Structure formats: structure tokens, C-alpha cells
Amino acid sequence: MKKLLLFFIFIFTINAFSQKEANFWYFGQNAGLDFSTSPPTALTDGQINTDEGCSSFSSPSGELLFYSDGISVYTKEHRLMTYSNGTSANNLKGNPSSTQSGMIIPKPGSTTIYYLFTVGTDYVGNANNPNPGFNFYTIDMSKNRGLGEITRGPTDLAINPDTNINMSNNWSEKVAAVKGADCNVYWVVSFAVDTFYSYKVTDAGVDINNIITSKVNFTASDKRGYLQVSPNGKKIAFADYNASGNSITGSLVLFDFDNATGKVDQFSSETLITRFSGESPYGVSFSPQSNKLYASSYNGSFSVFQFDLESSNIAASKKTIANRNGFRGSLQLAPDGKIYASIPDSFFLDVIENPDEDADKIIYTENAIHLNGRLTAQGLPPFISSLLLPIEILDADTNISINNTDAQFCIGQDKTIISEDIAGTGATYSWTFNDGINPPTDITPTTNPGSLVLTNIQPSNAGEYTLKIELTDDCGVVTQYNGTFNVEVFETAAANKPNDIYFCDTDRNGFNKFDFQADLNSEILGGLDPTIFDVLYFNTLDDANTGNNPLPNPYSNPTAFSSETIYVRVQNTNAIDACFAITDFILAVTDYPSPTQPEPYRICDNTESSSDTDGIINTFLLNTRDAEILGSLNSAQYNISYHTTQIGAENNDITTIVDKDSNYSVTNSKTLYIRVENKDNIGCYDANTSLELIVDALPNTNLEVDLLQCDDDLDRVSTINLTEAEISISINYQNETFKYFATEADAISGSPEVADKLRYPVNQTGEAWVRIISDQNCYRISKINLSVEASADVAYYKEFPAVCDDFLQKDGTDGALNDDTDGITNFDFSVANTEILAFFPPALQPDLEVSYYETTADRTAVINAIADISNYRNINYPSNITRQTIYFKITNKNNNNCSGIGELYLKTNLVPTAATAPDLELCDDVLDGDTANGIVQYFDLESQTTAILNGQNAADFTVTYHDSETDANAGINELISPFENTVRDSQPIYVRVTNNTTGCFTDHTSFNVIVNPVPIANFVNDLEVCDDNSDGSARNGFSQSIDLESQTAGILGTQDPNIHIVTYHRSLADAQSGNLPLVSPYTNNTIDRETIYVRILNTNSMCVNGISNFDVIVNPEPTFEQPTNLAYCDDELDGDDANGIVQNIDLDSKITEILGASQSPNDFWVTFHKSQADATSGNDPVVSPYQNT
């Protein structure tokens, strides 16, 4: 699918009529443009320097004729035109300070006569005289060798034909022109006070006797501002500027115009910008299609507004197109279909690139056209509006204009280009193609030349296409239309249809974010280059086709658990509106079933299988668990199936499915696996839930037991705790529930229960019935025979040795909440049983049972007994502050109502506290012969003790150090200082702090012993320098410019210079201590050779290496002896023994003499040169044997 959003401009003419008559513009400060090129070419040969008004005109073939600022007229040779009497045409009645100082109209039926209408002003600066009024001049281009001359004028047009009053002093600075509805007619329109004046121009000339006046219901407040008629001749726009200083009170008014009569409809005025709105409109311009109006306004800055003339409320359609710093400026539609904007004193013009578009699609280019060093002013030249009336070249497929645009097509596409139907006869068409490389080629079709057909478009079809049409219009005028558009060719888009997405929403909120770009782009592109092609996603096909409203990425579905069609657009990024393809896929978000884990499905064993102890039940009905499993899930949306295997549930294996609507038999227990799946997306399922089917056994009980009570007041009337019978009724009593009833019938029915099972009244004897219920609510019924007997107390008091608080969680588990300061620990007071029973005769002791309680209330009610006194944890009663009392009861097993009571006491000792100690850091040393093994022999572990105790009295505690947590906890393998680490570089040390009195300890603190490496001092070559003359001698063995730092990089090697400091010293002691660092440039102390010692400091670890050194060697400057001259006799080796040239001069023979006796030729290089400069620099040595020149 392809689209083109483009337009083009064609112009028709009267006589040899074409848009090229507006090709040349001269304006501003000697600025100009030539529209025969695209973009237009800046001209610098213009002679006018005008604040505002200007006009120019070209021939039908686009050649400049003349131009004017309203006062002076210049020929195409940029010289002043003359009147017929030979005087210079520099005193016309227009004015450069008039908004529109001139308008040029060709005489219909003539190729040589032109009329220049001039507009004066009384708003002038110091350079001009006020000259308000409206005049015209006749120019004959056949005169003066085709340069033209003014043959008539001025003719005063400022006469009101209705009153015969001269209106010059009231005349505005406005003039506009448009082609009339009749053949060979133009209308020239101007304005004064409240009246439009229209002048008809025909082949008879300017009709000054039948001036058309149109008085309107609007009175201008200012003479300044542009007047413009729409290209189609139906509207006229009026800018009433009115701005002075801080007073900005202009307005913009739109009228209807009749190009058949020249009348302005007096009742048609529509104010688009009202006075006192803070705007002063100045420039106006219609779009080529006459569907948009643009106005430039001064409001303290330069603004451009667009009005939509097709809107039902034109004023309300106002949109700001541009807002820039600058004074008032004009707007003018050009032959290329663009509107140009002039902001004063700029080296550029701005451009509205596509004025027929709506405001949100307008491209406003600031500083679009450079004027080649010339400056703008306020005005641009006005033209006959209909010169700029477009005729379209169309894309036949879309019927969209492609004129003056870069039409974008795709490789392989077929395209037919046509021109709009044009009224006239004898039309000839000529198509030309220019690829920018080869000469333009005539590509006019031999048949149907009005249509250009491009088939199987390829990159070679890219270039400029030009159409020229020549015909005779309905007025009998030979007319030429010229138009151009460019073709750009791009790679074709393709969109592979991706798989539909059915997303199972596991968080069940109904929404998900989808990263289409990451997940689908590659599949959709199918090999297309992602740097060339974009992939966009849309909710509607219309949006996909237009490219509007692409979905964000990541994309969230709009409604919970929705299903929608996502449309995909693949577009060439270089031609997004031309080369694109559409596909789609379904995106559905389905609810992930989150079933509730059901409780086990339990049935108590019964006699349906003839036995209530065989564990067989045949009546499990699975569908009775569906509602529990679904929970809040919609049963209409999900299917539930039960499977005998987990894999069967995951794969929905029908061979593993159990019929949930029929009875199912289970012996003892069976696990079934549940599959819950979404009916809309069977891939959206859960198979992680299971159902346990259990046949619960009935309790194993004694059907009748006795319960005896000791009565301490001997009246044998007492209350009995029925629960004390439980131990006799069932050996599993601790895991069962007991409900008590007064009669067997009540026990069978389950109601009513006794009011108080802990205080059941009995007078000597009685009975009670009990329902024994398993943890799965299966029950049997037993009888309790009650008897009240006498009882006695037993006293026992003991405080057990205190126990250290332990480092565990409150419940005794090891976890994140471990705490050894909560007063809670485990106690073993099991010895109390033996000691308490020792109060009774040995024969009686086997019948007695001692139970222990945390409160007297629990002991009285015989509830919440301490389960394990050998491992009792005082969770509810921390005893680190005060001791805890344990209450016990002695019960006769044969008569559980006879008991005695007593107390014992427990206490928790506090553990020490150990503060966190910092790591202990040392630098590696050479004591073990290796400075890089990460081992140090003298860590003082005890130096950490004070920090660890943190103010606690050291005499009360013992601090030991260990190399493992196990040793610290056990208190073994204590480390002794000085300590040598056994793990290189860094080793953890574990601390144990023990209370010397209680033996309680803490072992939760540790620190690291860290061995920082010593910097590496790489040995470098000796530093050799030449002796210099800074001290007056270049041979005394001393140099004052020794750069010690030049050795730094070599010494550091690959070590980071940002964390190492290298210093240089005269002695090893200074290097090791860091004293007296040397500074460069350095002067040696020892003649010729001196040893320099190097120190490297790591600023992070503060470790130092000070053992490297190198020598500084000062080499003396060579000396030389003044050699004797070297004389040779001329010879004939060159064929001439009298030319003074010798070819075999042995320069090297002088080396020994030059070096003298003290310097060996083996130690020096001696070179010879033709100049002192070369000898000094060492450049261009000559070679021996040498030939003199």
C-alpha cells in the first residue's frame, strides 16, 4: 500500500502566459531571487534599496524585464529606465516606504506594453518626501533596444468617480491584482478610507472612466499593510496594520471578491483578527489552492498565522505557524508554490514549504534561503494573484497532487502520472527526465502523451521529471504550462503475518505489557533491514494505513482479558508514506486459572464395605470439589479435570482422567492431579494443584473407663475435670478431640454438650459420655464412670542453675531473628521428676505422674502442660531479669483426681556483647622473603580487643580469636599474636567473647585481616643526559635539566598512576622514609654519574616500595679542533681541469684531526654540511668523496 501527500503548482497566462512572469524578485537592501532554479538562486545585482514596497516582472519565458521601488524603474541591465524624452525614470509617484509601492500588469493582447501602478505614502522617513496617492505609467518594452521606456504617465487614479474628489491624501498603501473572469481582463484593486477601487485592464488599456467602487462596512485605521486577492479571484484579504510604539491595535479583514465585476461584497466582511487583540497584521498571502490564508503580524515579535478558508468559522480556525524575534514583515506566494516570509535586516528568507496543508502539517523553515550577503527589509514584490493559480499534476492512482515535490515510489511499483484537464485547443505535451548525471532525456509517450506511465520502477527512475504543455486557451491566447516534480525510489516494504498471540495472564489482573518490537519485529520483517524499515503497531486498519496513532511499546491491552486485532505497518523509514505494507494478528489476553488448593477430600471409614476398619470407601464424588477448587473463578470460563498422574494433568491425557461425575473407590488414600484450563485458551491452564482422597480411620478407644477424683475437704462432693479421662480412653488422646455429654443419647446426637467439662459436678459417683473425634472429625463414643475420693498435697521448691541465653529465634529455630538478649533459652529440669517422686514411698512412685505448668491457672485446670521438661523453652516467660516459677502437679494414675502441687525456679544468664571491629590491614613485607605473596607474620589480633569489648570491663571477659566459626563457637584452636595469615590477601577472623563468671559467650563478631600488596617498582634503564652550558660549562659533568619524572611511567609499568605516587631521593634511607623528595628539573650532586633512589606509594593502601634505583649519567659535550684547509688540484675527471671543480674531495680524512688526540673516532659521529644552519640542526649532511659546487 502506498500513499503520497504532495502537491504541485502550474500557472497559465494571458497571451504567452506563464508563471515564469514572477520568476525575478528584487526587494530589500539590494536583494533578489531567481526562481528559474529550485531552490531559487540569490541575486546580488539589484539596484533598489527599499524599506517596504517593490515590484518586478519577467517575460513569459522567465527573463527579467524591469523592476521598481515605486520611485525608480530599472531595466533588466540594472540601469535606470528613461522616459520617452530621455530623462531618467527616478521620480515616479510611488514610494519605497509604501507597503505596496508598485504593481506591474501586462496589457492584454500585447507583448510589449506594461502598466506600472504606483502607490505613494505620507508615512516617510527623512530620506523621502510624502507623496500619497495612486497613479499608473505605461511602459513600452519595444523601445530602447528592448530595454523599455516610460511612454505615458503619471495618470492619477485617486479620483473618486462618485464625488469627483481627489482622495490622494487618504489613499492607502495597498494595491492588488487578479485575472478577470472574462478573457483578456485584469482587475487592479486599491483602497481608501472605507472604499475599494477596482480598475479594469483590457486590450484597450486601463479603463479610468468606469472605475468600480465598493464601499464596505469597514473603515481602515491605518494606511499600512498588504492587500491580496486569492489566486482563484474569490477572496480579498486586508491587513490594517496600525501599530505605533507600544500601541498595537491592528486588524485583519476578509472580503468576498467578484472577478467578473471587480466588486467587493460590502456585507461580506469577516474580521479574522480584531482590533485591540494585541496584533498588528502586515503581510497577507493566500495558498496556491486559495484554501488557506496566511497573515504576518507584529506583536512585539514577528508571528505568522494560518486561517482555514474552508472552515465554517474562519476566525476560530486561526493557528500560529511561526513566532520569531523581529519587526513587521511581508509574505508572498512564489512560482514554486511556497510562501516566502521577509523579516527585516536578515540575510535569509523564511519559507512555508506546503501552504495548502492544514496547520498541524505545515513545514515552516526558518532561514531557508540565504541571500548571498544581501539583507531583507519589510517588503516582497506583489504579483497578479492569478499568476500563481495552480493546475495540478496528479498521481493517477490516488488523484493526489505531486507537483514540486519529491514523489516517493517503491521498487517494482507501476505508476501513472497525469495532468489536470486544461481548457483549450491544440495541446501538446512534452515530458523530460533528468537523472542529474546524464543530459535531460525526452520521455514523451507516443500515445496518450498527457499520461506518463512508469512501470516496474527501479532506482534508475529516480530524478527530475518536467512537463511542458502548450495550447490555445478559451480566450484564444497561446499558453504554456511548465511543471516539475522529483521521483525518489525506495526499497519495497513487506509485512509477514506473525502468529496470533494468546497470552495467559498469570497475575490475573487481565492486563499485560507486550514488547511487540522485541518479540515480533524480526518475524514480521522477514529479512528486511531493520535500519531501513520501521515496524509500527495500531489498533485500527485506518490508523495503520495513515500511520496515525501508533501504539506505544511496550503496549498494554486496553481492557482486562480482551481480544483484539493488532494491525502492523512495515514502512521504509525514508519513504514512510509511500513504501509500506500492512498485516495483522490477534492479541488475546486470557485469564490464567489460579485454582484454590482444595482441602483433602476425607470420608470416615464406615461399614459400606462390611468393615469400618478396612480403609475402603467407594463413594468419593469428585465434582463436589469443583466449586472449592475454582474459588472465585467463573465456572462458565474454566474446565476442571482430575487425573491419576501429574504428567497426565499437564498433557491433558484422557487415559488418566477420572470421571468426576461418578463414584470413585479409594483404599486408605489416593492423590489425584487437577487440571484447570481456560475454555478460550486451552494452553492457559494450571496443573499444579492436587486433591488428596483420604479414608480416615475411626478413633481406637476404650468403650468404658473410670475417673476418680481426690477431694481435699473429704466431703466427696467435688467438680471433676472430665478431660483427665482422655488418657485412659485413648492412647492417641493428644491428637484427638473430646466432647462430653451427660447421657448416651446426647453423645449420639452430638448435643447438648456438658456446660463445663473442666468442672463437672459429682456427688460421690456419677457418669458422663464422651465423643472421641479424630483430627479428621471421625468419632466413636465411650462412657466415663465417675468417683470422688480424698487427696493430699506435696511440697517441692528448687532453683535450678542458671542457663546462658541462646542465639536462636524465639521459637528455638535458627533464622533471621536469632537473638541472644531476649532472656529465652532451653532448660533441662528433668531431674525434678526423680526428686519430686522421692517424697513418696517407692512402691507408690510408679503410679504417680508429675506434670509441669507455666501458670497456676493452667495447673489448676490441668491444661497447657509443659511437653518436654528436658528441653523446655521459656518463650512466654523470659527470665533474664527475674527468675521464672514453674508450677507442677502430681497425679495418681489410678485416681487422677488425687494430686499434689509444688514449685521450682529457672533463671537465664545474659551473654556478653561484642562490638563490630574494623578490619585489620597491613602491607605485605619481606620477612618471609616474598613481598607479593599476600602473607604477613605479625598481625596483632589482641589490638582489636578494646574495640570489641567497647567499654566492658576486660577483667570480666575473655576474648579469643579463631580462624573458623566452628572453632569460635566451640572455643577451641585459639589464634595467638603475632598472627600469620594462612589465606593470602584477606582472611576472616572469628571472635569469641566469654563471661568469666557465667561462662556465657558470644561468637557473632568477625573481622578480616587484610594484606595489601606492596607497589611494584620496576627497574628502569639509567637516565642519560648531555651536559649543558647552564652552569657555564658543558663538560664539567653537571646538568641542571635532569627530568627525573621521565622515569615514572617505566617504574610504574601497568600500575594505575592515579593511585600511585613516585618520588625520587638521593639515598636509600630517604626513599624508604619518604624524606627529601627531589624535584625536576634536577641538578646532579656527583660528577658524571649519580644514583637516584625511587619510592612508590599506593595512596589507597598507603603501602610503600622504596628499593628501586637507577643512575643519572651526564655525558660531556664533544670538543673539536679547528681543522686545516683541504686543498686539491683541479683534474680532468670531469673532462675539464680548469673549471675549479673536483669530484673526489675526501672530507672523512679530516675526522681524526677534528676530534683531536683525546677523542676516539669510534665514539663519535662527524658529519659535514654546506651551511652553519644545517650543521647546527644536523640536516642535509654531505657525503665523502665530495664534489664542490
Full DSSP string of 469-506: EEEE-TTS-EEEEEEEEEEEEEPPP--PPPPPEEEEET
Residue 1121's CB is within 10 A of a number of other CB atoms, namely 14
Dist CA 379 CA 95 (whole Å): 12
Does residue 433 carry a pLDDT above 70?
yes
Give yes or no for a contact between 949 and 957, defined as CB atoms under 8 angstroms apart.
yes
Q: Please list, in sequence order, all residues whose beta carbon lies within 8 angstroms of the beta carbon of residue 715, skipping any fewer than 6 positions away.
A: none
Per-residue model confidence (pLDDT) at position 7: 30
Averaged pLDDT, 989-997? 94
Least confident of 5-14, 118-127, 457-466, 834-843: 5-14
In one-letter notation, the amino acid at residue 1155 is: L
Q: CATH: 2.30.30, 2.60.40, 1.10.3470, 1.10.3720. Which one for 501-591? A: 2.60.40
Domain 19-388, CATH:
2.130.10.10
Cis peptide before 593 (omega within 30 of 0): no
Does residue 390 carry a pLDDT above 80?
no
CA distances from 916 to 475, 725, 948, 991 (A): 107, 57, 6, 10
CB hemisphere CA count around 590 (13 angstroms): 19
For 273, the grid coordinates are: 483578527
Give yes or no for a contact between 532 and 491, defined as CB atoms under 8 angstroms apart.
yes
Per-residue model confidence (pLDDT) at position 524: 96
pLDDT band at residue 13 using 50, 70 and 90 as cut-offs:
very low
Q: Give which of 107, 163, 106, 101 is closest to 135, Cα–Cα.
A: 101
Per-residue model confidence (pLDDT) at position 789: 58
Q: Give which of 341, 236, 357 is closest to 288, Cα–Cα.
A: 357
Percent of the chain with pLDDT over 70: 96
Averaged pLDDT, 743-751? 94
Dist CA 432 CA 608 (whole Å): 103
In one-letter notation, the amino acid at residue 78 is: H
Dist CA 937 CA 923 (whole Å): 11
Least confident of 181-195, 240-254, 1006-1020, 1134-1148: 1134-1148
Q: What is the DSSP letter of 857?
A: H
Find where cell 681524526 sits: 1152
Dist CA 419 CA 10 (whole Å): 10
Q: What sign does the CA torsion over 107, 111, 113, 119 have?
A: positive
Dist CA 234 CA 232 (whole Å): 6
Dist CA 447 CA 449 (whole Å): 5
Per-residue model confidence (pLDDT) at position 10: 32
For 61, the grid coordinates are: 519565458
Residue 1131's CB is within 10 A of a number of other CB atoms, namely 12
Per-residue model confidence (pLDDT) at position 126: 52
Please write the tens of the pLDDT for every residue from 1043-1082: 999 888 988 999 999 999 999 999 888 888 889 999 999 9
Per-residue model confidence (pLDDT) at position 825: 93
Burial of 610 per CB tally in 10 Å (0-12, 13-18, 19+): exposed
Residue 209: alpha-carbon gap to chain centroid: 72
Percent of the chain with pLDDT over 90: 63
Does residue 716 carry a pLDDT above 70?
no
pLDDT band at residue 5 using 50, 70 and 90 as cut-offs:
very low
Q: Give which of 302, 301, 304 is closest to 284, Cα–Cα.
A: 304
Dist CA 849 CA 834 (whole Å): 11
Domain boundaries, the chain: 19-388, 395-490, 501-591, 601-696, 704-790, 803-909, 920-1012, 1023-1115, 1125-1189
pLDDT band at residue 389 using 50, 70 and 90 as cut-offs:
low
Averaged pLDDT, 897-902? 79
More confident residue, 188 or 1131: 188
Q: What sign does the CA torsion over 673, 678, 681, 684 have?
A: negative
Q: Please list, in sequence order, all residues whose beta carbon lies within 8 angstroms of the beta carbon of residue 1005, skipping any fewer than 6 positions away.
A: 914, 915, 916, 917, 948, 990, 991, 993
CATH domain 601-696 topology: Immunoglobulin-like (2.60.40)
More confident residue, 324 or 1039: 324
Averaged pLDDT, 856-883? 90
CATH domain 704-790 topology: Immunoglobulin-like (2.60.40)
| Helices (runs of H) and strands (runs of E) counted in the chain | 14, 73
Beta strands in 79-125 (DSSP E): 82-83, 102-106, 113-119
Dist CA 288 CA 735 (whole Å): 97
Q: Report the SS3 class of residue 1150.
A: helix
Does residue 975 carry a pLDDT above 70?
yes
In the CATH hierarchy, which top-level class contains the domain 395-490? Answer: mainly beta
Kindly report the average pLDDT of the chain as a whole number: 90
Averaged pLDDT, 371-393? 88
Please write the tens of the pLDDT for every residue from 567-614: 999 999 999 989 999 999 999 999 889 899 999 999 999 988 888 889
Least confident of 2-6, 186-190, 345-349, 514-518: 2-6
Per-residue model confidence (pLDDT) at position 715: 57
Which stretches of 127-167 are DSSP H helices?
A: none
Per-residue model confidence (pLDDT) at position 204: 95
For 1181, the grid coordinates are: 649532511
Give yes or no for a contact between 784 and 762, defined as CB atoms under 8 angstroms apart.
no
Q: CATH: 2.40.50, 1.10.3470, 2.30.30, 2.60.40. Which one for 1023-1115? A: 2.60.40
Averaged pLDDT, 832-836? 92
Residue 374: alpha-carbon gap to chain centroid: 43
